[in-house]
Structure 1
Amino acid sequence: MIAVGFGAEWAVRRALARTRSAVAQEDAGQAILFETVALLTFARASAGSFLAFGWPPLLRRIILTLLLAFIAFRVVRAAARLLFAFGGATSDPSDRPTPLFESEGSTRFWRWRVSLVAGFLLFGWAIASLMPGLGFSREVAGLAAFLFGLGILATAIDVVWQRPDGRGSLVKQSFLTLFLIVLWVAWVAGLLGVLWLGIFALVLPTALRGVGAAAQAFAGRSKRSGAMGVVLNVLIVRGARAAVIAAEVAWLAYIWRLRAATFAGSETGGFLIAGLLNGIIILLIADMLWQLSKALIEYRMNLAPTDGSSADELARSGRLRTLLPCS
């Protein structure tokens, strides 16, 4: 099934390669579109070959679980590759996109570590979830999950000490290592809310920078100009960042709601967490509206003539300027 998926993807990539010019290959929007089409082709072909046959129930569950893990693994690798390739691009359409990392060695380092973490996480989940159905005890399945978790911990510590672009001091690296060990202990102890909160605290700043830069490059290559171009740019860039934050907050709310229902035996904790989630979403929408208003005000002020303006125009420009932040 994986071979069928790769064969269909190879055919689609060859067909797309004929339509791509050298300039289009460096465009973030074109690259994202073609990569999405290729991955969807792989998923549809592999899943279609799976559905074409009848399977015994246990074998069906095994194959489907492993196939979903493999598809998710490829999606993570593709997202990392696109982020590293276009995450450092500028918003000027005339500029050539630059990689998120300066050297090819740094890019290879991060792609390999992302692949390791994704492999340990996804295939570890698949194998550990299948083991009870294959006759293994829950203790043995828990031990397998424990070993995969150790692999993720070892990879994360390796990133702290071996990252090629790292400039942290020995104290900072030691603190990060201790922090990762504490997160691993929280996972072993079943404190999933603490675990995910710590993971997002480490990952969110970098993820926001990378997603924002990639979205800025994508928006900068749109053909829109004028006020519509300003609106589209804000919606794409701020919307991409808001989507990342909303997804992480929603996942945290889901985890905390489960834990609150387990320990409290009531819906009070879930109600409070849902209120917190709604509040954060409202703040994200308000931030997007503010950024949109600020961008339109700046666009309107740039259109106003600076020389020979009447007193009324200068006063109107001054009133608009008071709405903008000082920095």
Structure 2
Amino acid sequence: MQEFKSHSGFLDSIKLKDGRLIREKKAVHAVNDVSFTIRKGETFGLVGESGCGKSTTAKSIIRLLDCVSGQIIYKDQDISRLKNRQLEPYRKSVQMIFQDPQSSLDPRQQVKDIIMEPMLFHKIAASRKEAEERCLALLERVGLRPEQANRYPHQFSGGQRQRIGIARALAVEPEFIIADEPVSALDVSIQAQILNLMMDLKDEFGFSYLFIAHDLSVVKYICDRLAVMYLGAIMEMGDKNTLFNNPVHPYTRLLFSAVPTVGEEPLVEPMESVGEIPSPINLPSGCFFHERCPYATKECQCSRPQLREIESGHFVACHLCK
């Protein structure tokens, strides 16, 4: 089980006061009271507009960012306050596939060293020879040729680099993988290959995914359950069939109505919102979405709705959804 609560940071701002430049620090609430559970063997999706906190959530779970408050529970252990050596078993169990494989792969290392290094560090392989054998087998498993192991990342295409990133994540035999928009930068034909590969690997190795994406068709294809985020908070959460067949939160409906369709029925009736996304530095009072919601009431402006279950497994944070 993985449960995550919240994260915030600080942003320097400069303003003019009495003819002087004043530097101030303002709190940026990147993630607000986000809480969800991922079951063993499940693919859980996070969707929402850019800047809604999806990647911050992912980086906090894997401890690339430290959360300011809340807990990250993994196998009944709170890992949010663990330090250095205490984190090593967690680092082995939880891996991440990054959005841009080019920037996440060391350009000075050959592919075989990129994949072998975590194996040797976490003692997955007893010797360098065994690590090399495992590396070549992994490369074949993700669709690359063993002779490509001596090449450098810049010598591969985008789709091939993403396969290297997947192989590196699998190198330590993880139980949970965070995939942060792993196919968004790839051609459509390559996207399908990578998605099918990821699903085959999940069935083969039995790990869980946290899958972050903008493309709702990708989410519908690969995820079992999903949560819709807006301004660092979860607006709606449930299994994919429930959310795609019966989205009830106005923001979810707005998000789904923006999906372009050609010769097929839209997911929901067309819907328009007003205004722009507010700044996470100055969050709106009440419901974060009320300034853009066409159905907002006075209650929405004054009181922030809590995420509550409206039917089995279907959670919504909206005063209008009874």
Structure number with bigger Rg: 1
Per the normalisation by structure 2, the TM-score is 0.27
TM-score (structure 1 length as normaliser)? 0.27
Q: Tell me which of the two structures has the higher relative contact order, counting C-alpha pairs closer than 8 angstroms and 6 or more residues apart.
A: 2
> More strand per residue: 1 or 2?
2
